[in-house]
Structure 1
Amino acid sequence: MRHQPTEYRPGTARGAAPPLGREYDLEGRRLWLHRSGSGGPSMVFLPGAGLVGLDFLNIHDRAAELTTSVLYDRAGTGWSERVTLPRTPTEVTDELRGLLRAADVPGPYLLVGHSLGAFYGRRYAQRFPEDVAGLLLLDPGHEDILSYVPKQAAELNEQMKPDPEQLPELSDEQIRSARDQLAQIYAQWPEPVREALIGYNLASWRTSLRETENFETEVYDELRHGGDLPDVPLIVLTAGGDNPYWAQFMPEHLMREAHEGVRAMQAAIAASVPQGEQRVLTGASHQYGHVEQPDAVFHAIRDLLGKADARR
């Protein structure tokens, strides 16, 4: 049965209506989606933890000049309905497949997955290879990361993980500082979208911590045992800048070794398929590389579309 879209109602899942897009009812659950452009293969953005669909509006608008482009929020994030977090990759990919069908987004899909979203993009390709025309992975992680980074770096990272339930509310000073930083990040976004994203980030900053609580268990396990990726064009974009989070607790030499390990790990992801390629974005950060270097991300999208078209 085809699920019908409904207008978003303020005061539901996330309190206020999103500035763009609409919600779809999928088996009783409200999910937000924004679609632009036409043609195929359709581009679908899978945000990383802590980000939402509208974070990629800058790339989406340019991609929509070339093909159908879709932004969406997973349940439990953004303007989609609240659910208990974390969730398994199977749950997330089942939901995405159902939503794309409900919204009549034509396949096959070119999946753009950032960080945690890259895990979900790879899992989607493992489970539904016939639906996937290509993959763009933005600074992805990998279930075998411990084989690439120094043991000491991995141990320090684990020790510093915060418990979201134990973290205090943001102080007024922290809110002001965060608002200023977010306003700079989203400076090129239309004002209604910028203000909506700032408000969401300030209210929902614990979401990224909750979404990744099963990172090293269920997420890694599903990907590790999920099988090979299909033989489709793949580009991995590696963030070549420093990691400010690691810099808070990791000595410089160890952080450098960890970065080298991550770069090697992402090269291995690219090499896992015949048409894989790694591109390093010098100076780009993990979280906002698509904001800092949008041209490089767009060029990767354009190149993948060209490769996908050549295979038809």
Structure 2
Amino acid sequence: MTKEMFVQISDFKLFAKLIGKNNGKPTIVMDAGYGDYSKTWDLIISAISMLTEVLIYDRAGLGKSEKSSNPRTSSVMVKELNELLKRAKLKGPYILVGHSFGGLNMRLYASEYPNEVCGLILVDSTPEEYREKFLPTMSIEFQEAYNKQFVYESNYDEFIESLKQVKESRRKLNVPLIVLSAGKKAHYPKESQELWNEMQKEFLRISSNSEFKVAENSAHYIQNDEPEVVIEVIKSLIEKF
């Protein structure tokens, strides 16, 4: 079953898609990376929707969603998502899945609404200390390209503000957490790849019940390079319920 909807949030509408059916397992809510939207899950969505009901959506100004006059920071995006879930009448607690920047949002959601979350999966998620700790290990060209990308959604200052918001809201969670790290980023020097995996591993501290897995043959988009790995991880979490 697939249901598409445009949901009114303050002065704009968010596009969302509900796939699969509620079978007593938690609903999965998925958030894409920076500048990405719901299409990022295309290769895995049908397999996951066989397991339970899944909500994918486009953040404001991306995909089919309208632009918002609200600031584009994680705290605002998380409030908008919470409003979307309420208006779509989806009952929690949810399993949250976030890729890259979407991982920041999902972590913040779990901190802000702990009673509405029963599981968290971070897919090569952005660490809060990305700029200070990781970016300096990369080439000047990479750093310049990285800093110039902030034109699709939040601007650079809003992105930095989002990192700060997630860092400040960090709290210990009591839900199962699975951290999935990309292990084969061709443009990363060996030291940077090792540091990236270490920084991903640090996410394990977020929850008292956490596990870590490296997708050995994946670059940043694990859901495209090794879709079966992401499907398996989600399946293993759903089976806990």
Q: TM-score, normalised by structure 2?
A: 0.89
Which secondary structure does the structure 2 equivalent of 1:105 belong to?
coil
Give the 3 Å change call, closer, same or farther, for CA 29–216 of structure 1 in structure 2.
closer
Contact 2:170-2:206 within 8 A present in 1 as well: no
1:274 equivalent to 2:208? Answer yes
Contact 1:86-1:213 within 8 A present in 2 as well: no
**Counterpart-to-counterpart distance in 1, 2:159 and 2:83:** 26
**Counterpart-to-counterpart distance in 2, 1:31 and 1:159:** 32
Amino acid of the residue matched to residue 66 of structure 1? L
Q: Deviations over 1:113-165 (max 9, x none)?
A: 00000000000011000000111110011112367548443866433445469
Contact 2:31-2:38 within 8 A present in 1 as well: yes
**Counterpart-to-counterpart distance in 2, 1:146 and 1:83:** 26
Tell me how far 1:64 sits from its aligned partner: 1.4
Tell me how far 1:237 sits from its aligned partner: 0.8
Q: Which structure 2 segments of 5+ residues have no match?
A: none
The structure 2 residue matched to 1:227, chosen from 147, 163, 170, is 170
Contact 1:149-1:257 within 8 A present in 2 as well: no
Contact 2:93-2:118 within 8 A present in 1 as well: yes
1:113 equivalent to 2:47? Answer no
Give the 3 Å change call, closer, same or farther, for CA 85–138 of structure 1 in structure 2.
farther
Q: Deviations over 1:70-127 (max 9, x none)?
A: 1101111111002368611111000000001111112111011000000000000110
Tell me how far 1:299 sits from its aligned partner: 0.7
Which secondary structure does the structure 2 equivalent of 1:34 belong to?
strand
**Counterpart-to-counterpart distance in 1, 2:207 and 2:73:** 25
Aligned residues: 238
Tell me how far 1:268 sits from its aligned partner: 1.0
Other-structure match for 1:217: 160
**Counterpart-to-counterpart distance in 1, 2:215 and 2:149:** 31
Contact 1:113-1:137 within 8 A present in 2 as well: yes
Q: TM-score, normalised by structure 1?
A: 0.70
Tell me how far 1:20 sits from its aligned partner: 7.4
Give the 3 Å change call, closer, same or farther, for CA 242–85 of structure 1 in structure 2.
farther
**Counterpart-to-counterpart distance in 2, 1:86 and 1:243:** 34
Contact 2:7-2:16 within 8 A present in 1 as well: yes
**RMSD of equivalent CA atoms:** 2.4
Which secondary structure does the structure 2 equivalent of 1:260 belong to?
helix
Amino acid of the residue matched to residue 199 of structure 2? M
Which of structures 1 and 2 has the bigger CA Rg?
Answer: 1
Give the 3 Å change call, closer, same or farther, for CA 230–83 of structure 1 in structure 2.
same
Q: Which structure 1 segments of 5+ residues have no match?
A: 1-18, 166-205, 247-254
Task: Name whichever structure is richer in strand by fraction.
Answer: 2
Tell me how far 1:218 sits from its aligned partner: 0.5
Point out 4+ residue stretches in structure 1 off by more than 6 angstroms. none
The structure 1 residue matched to 2:120, chosen from 132, 135, 138, is 135
User: How many percent of aligned residue pairs carry the same amino acid?
Assistant: 28
